[in-house]
Amino acid sequence: MTQSRHRDRKGSLIIRGRERKFWLSQWPEGNKRGSNKLGWCDELTRSQAERAHRQLMEKVNRHRDSAGDSVTLDGFFHEHYWHEETGQYRVDLSTKKPSTRRDMKNTMLQVSIPRWGKRSMDSIKTGEVQSFIASLMSQK
């Protein structure tokens, strides 16, 4: 069995956009590149963008290091999408349209979390989710 190299991702900070330029943070994730828009170039200086990029890379690397720890669906949802105490959307969901945020939050809180919330995410199988969706569709 081979082990992958243990190192922190540094990623890259680039400028994108045709008409209005924005700062884009990119990093390798397996066979693809993860990316995150950091802000508009006319609103962030390079040093502010670099600081935001470093903070994002720390978060990405921290999650990579803890990937062995299995997180529950409920924990994942509240860590990335919904802050229960303040009733606010987290950054990962705040970039979506209001209707998308509302629908994702309601689906998770009313359907997915009651069904699988306490289970670890790696124990939830595709076939199980498909069967559940089929049963919901047949009820209509």
What pLDDT is attached to residue 4?
A: 47
Q: What is the pTM of this model?
A: 0.47
Boundaries of every domain in the chain: 12-65, 73-139
Segment 93-132, tens digit of pLDDT: 777 889 998 898 898 889 889 998 888 887 888 889 899 8
- pLDDT-derived band of residue 6, with 50, 70 and 90 as boundaries? very low
What is the arithmetic mean of pLDDT over 12-25? Answer: 93
Instruction: Write out the DSSP string of the chain.
Output: -----------EEEEE-SSS-EEEEEEEETTEEEEEEEEETTTS-HHHHHHHHHHHHHHHHHHHHTTTSPPBHHHHHHHHTEETTTTEE-HHHHTS-HHHHHHHHHHIIIIIHHHHTTSBGGG--HHHHHHHHHHHHHH-
Segment 24-34, tens digit of pLDDT: 999 887 677 88
